[in-house]
């Protein structure tokens, strides 16, 4: 149909949008999956979940957008480089135990502190949380990098 | 939990197992690939139901996470296979290019 129109002399042929259901549902379900992934990540200390499952589910949400749209749109939506995501995740996962080593603890001794945030007030922060955030970023970045490279786009 | 509810849940698990067996027959011996994909999607939904019944039987609430995870990943997998069957590829580089 399109090539016939182009042979007839039309320069620009607008592509017919015929996957409206998929794009609308993926736009709605993206936020629900992302919310559930963040819930899994933050509840990982007391209930099942953690950085690995949260990262995998976040990358599943982004893959849903990638299936419904294309790589160019995803690069416009998320202007991050996934190699940098892997590197920052590994830096967090290695930098937190190394930073705690300077306070006199042995390597990988996690500590519990209470910090004061401007809006939330005083909350407890265990230093395993930045380590888990590093696992989250590494898993999410490597999964998305694998899928985009296998899909044929260059990063 | 009393005996009556146990019997009811065990009967329900046996029924779900029979349904999953029939669905797995359709997964193995489906004439076309579309039949296999629809049967696999239904198999995932039945697996969610079975895990729900098991979480009641085991008296735990930690399996709800697994149910939601299977639902989301099954939906993404079915959408990917449907796009592969329609277009021939799963991820396209540029949607609006003319080729």
Q: Which residues, 6 or more positions from A150, have their beta carbon under 8 angstroms from its beta carbon?
A: none
**pLDDT at residue A152, as a whole number:** 77
pTM: 0.84
Q: How many CA atoms lie within 13 A of A61 on its CB side?
A: 20
What is the spatial distance between Cα B89 and Cα B84, in angstroms, rounded to a whole number? 5
Distance of CA B88 to the CA centre of its chain: 23
**pLDDT at residue A5, as a whole number:** 64
Between B1 and A145, name the one with better pLDDT: A145
Model confidence at B1, in pLDDT bands (50, 70, 90)?
A: low
Model confidence at B79, in pLDDT bands (50, 70, 90)?
A: very high
**pLDDT at residue B88, as a whole number:** 82
What residues make up the domain containing B70? Answer: 3-87
* ipTM of the prediction: 0.85
Interface touch A2/B90, C-beta < 8 Å: no
Q: Is the pLDDT of residue B67 over 70?
A: yes
Q: Which residues, 6 or more positions from B67, have their beta carbon under 8 angstroms from its beta carbon?
A: B48, B51, B52, B55
**pLDDT at residue A3, as a whole number:** 62
Between B89 and B48, name the one with better pLDDT: B48
List CB contacts (< 8 A) between B90 and chain A. 67, 151
**pLDDT at residue A90, as a whole number:** 93
Helix, strand or coil, per DSSP, at residue A70: strand
**pLDDT at residue B35, as a whole number:** 93
B94 touches chain A (CB under 8 A): yes
**pLDDT at residue A104, as a whole number:** 81
Closest CA of chain A from B65, distance in Å: 8
Model confidence at B75, in pLDDT bands (50, 70, 90)?
A: very high
What is the spatial distance between Cα B13 and Cα A40, in angstroms, rounded to a whole number? 28
B64 lies in some domain:
yes
**pLDDT at residue A2, as a whole number:** 57
**pLDDT at residue A59, as a whole number:** 94
Average pLDDT for residues B70-85, to the nearest whole number? 92
pLDDT tens for B4-56 read 989 999 999 999 999 999 999 999 998 899 999 999 999 999 999 999 999 99
Interface touch A47/B79, C-beta < 8 Å: no
B13 lies in some domain:
yes
Closest CA of chain A from B66, distance in Å: 9
Planar angle of CA A97, A100, A106, nearest 5 degrees: 80
Task: Give CA separation, A120 vs A33, A40, A116, A117, A129, in Å.
Answer: 25, 21, 8, 6, 17
**pLDDT at residue A6, as a whole number:** 65
Give the mean pLDDT per block of 10 residues along chain A (155 residues): 64 66 92 94 88 93 92 89 92 86 82 80 84 93 93 75
Three-class secondary structure assignment of chain B: CCHHHHHHHHHHHHHHHHHHHHHHHHHHHCCCHHHHHHHHHHHHHHHHHHHHHHHHHCCCCCCHHHHHHHHHHHHHHHHHHHHHHHHCCCCECCCCCCC
Structural domains in chain B (count)? 1
B99 lies in some domain:
no
**pLDDT at residue A151, as a whole number:** 84
């Amino acid at each position: 149909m399109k090539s016939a129109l182009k042979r007839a002399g039309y320069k620009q042929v607008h592509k017919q949008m015929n996957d409206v259901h998929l794009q609308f549902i993926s736009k709605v379900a993206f936020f629900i999956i992302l919310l559930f992934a963040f819930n899994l990540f933050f509840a990982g200390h007391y209930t099942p979940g953690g950085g690995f499952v949260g990262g995998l589910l976040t990358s599943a949400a982004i893959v849903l957008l990638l299936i419904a749209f294309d790589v160019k749109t995803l690069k416009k939506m998320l202007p991050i480089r996934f190699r940098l995501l892997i590197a920052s995740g590994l830096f967090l996962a290695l930098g937190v135990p190394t930073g705690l080593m300077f306070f006199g603890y042995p390597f990988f001794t996690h500590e519990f502190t209470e910090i004061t945030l401007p809006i939330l007030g005083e909350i407890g922060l265990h230093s395993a949380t930045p380590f888990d955030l590093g696992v989250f970023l590494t898993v999410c970045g490597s999964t998305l990098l694998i899928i985009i490279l296998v899909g044929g786009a260059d990063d | 939990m009393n005996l009556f509810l146990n019997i009811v849940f065990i009967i329900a698990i046996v029924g779900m197992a029979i349904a999953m067996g029939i669905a797995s027959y359709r997964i193995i011996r489906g004439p076309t690939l579309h039949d296999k994909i629809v049967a696999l999607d239904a198999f995932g939904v039945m697996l969610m139901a079975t895990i729900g019944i098991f979480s009641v039987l085991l008296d735990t609430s930690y399996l709800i996470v697994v149910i939601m995870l299977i639902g989301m990943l099954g939906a993404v997998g079915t959408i990917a296979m449907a796009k592969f069957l329609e277009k021939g590829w799963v991820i396209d580089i540029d949607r609006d290019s003319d080729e």
